[in-house]
């Protein structure tokens, strides 16, 4: 089955805090997960840095993105 990317096909999406993972980059991203056929699936990785007061960046990455990609993004964009 193909990966869900269409927002309308996703019923409920939850945000998961990953700051307990080993890499420091997870302090700056959270993971979105959704339930499909009683299984939790990972959807996207979202940047949670505030670019302005109470305005989140919300840059979205695929969960397949490497830690190196995420670090590169943080260094260049933030």
Which residues lie near Zn ion (CB under 5 A)?
47, 49, 57, 59
Per-residue burial over 60-78, b = 16 or more CB atoms within 10 Å of its CB, e = otherwise: eeeeeeeeeebeebbeeee
Q: Which is nearer to Zn ion, 49 or 71 (CB)?
A: 49
CB of 78 to Zn ion, least distance (A): 6
1 versus 55: smaller Cβ distance to Zn ion = 55
Q: How far is the CB of 47 from Zn ion (least distance, A)?
A: 3
The residue among 25 and 47 lying less far from Zn ion, judged by its C-beta, is: 47
Q: Determine contact, residues 77/60, Cβ cutoff 8 Å.
A: no
Task: Report, in Å, the least distance between residue 61 CB and Zn ion.
Answer: 10
78/74 Cα distance (integer angstroms) = 5
């Amino acid at each position: 089955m193909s990966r869900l990317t269409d927002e309308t096909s996703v019923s409920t999406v939850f945000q998961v805090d990953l700051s307990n993972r080993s890499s420091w980059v997870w302090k700056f991203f959270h993971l979105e997960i959704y339930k499909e056929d009683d299984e939790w699936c990972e959807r996207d990785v979202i940047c949670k840095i505030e670019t302005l007061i109470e305005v989140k960046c919300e840059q979205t990455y695929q969960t397949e993105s490497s830690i190196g990609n995420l670090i590169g993004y943080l260094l260049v964009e933030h």
